[in-house]
Amino acid sequence: MIVEIIRLFDRVSKPGVASAHCDLPCGVYDPAQARVEAESVKAIMEKYNASDDQYFRDRAVIIKEQRAAEVNHHLDILWYQYFQPAHLEKYPQLHELFWSSKKLTSQAKRSNDVAVADQLLSSINQIAEIFWETKK
């Protein structure tokens, strides 16, 4: 009982914890992180498609899914932490662009179609263009 009271006191007395991509709102953002992971997804798909070794292919799928999750993570950081309402006013296509990028990331997890990876890279490049325009 006393332990529960101490835990409750600790939760109430401690300030809330903020979270960012580096657990500190450092303000450092770059779409290159998502692009590098997406390039990795594409390269893994190409290697998967070129191999007949089932063990290699199984490992490739696991790693590709992890890299795709990283793409998703880095897109989330840009969308939720960097881009602001003023950016959406100036670039109304941003919402659709992020939505389609996230859908492509999900498709990349489920397939080994290099064309999907190419579309994802193209989408990320469009986001990067807008990102760098906002940094001017």
Domains of the chain, first to last = 29-134 (1.20.120.400)
Low-confidence winner among 8-12, 67-71, 98-102, 108-112 (lowest mean pLDDT) = 8-12
Interval 89-102: pLDDT, tens: 999 999 999 999 99
Distance CA 42, CA 121 (A): 9
Threshold 0.85, pTM exceeds: no
Q: Are 102 and 75 in contact (CB under 8 A)?
A: yes
Helices of type H across 14-53: 32-50
Per-residue pLDDT of 7-57, as tens digits, reads 554 554 555 444 445 555 667 789 999 999 999 999 999 999 999 999 999
Residue type (1 letter), 87: H
Residue 31: count other Cβ atoms within 10 Å of its Cβ: 22
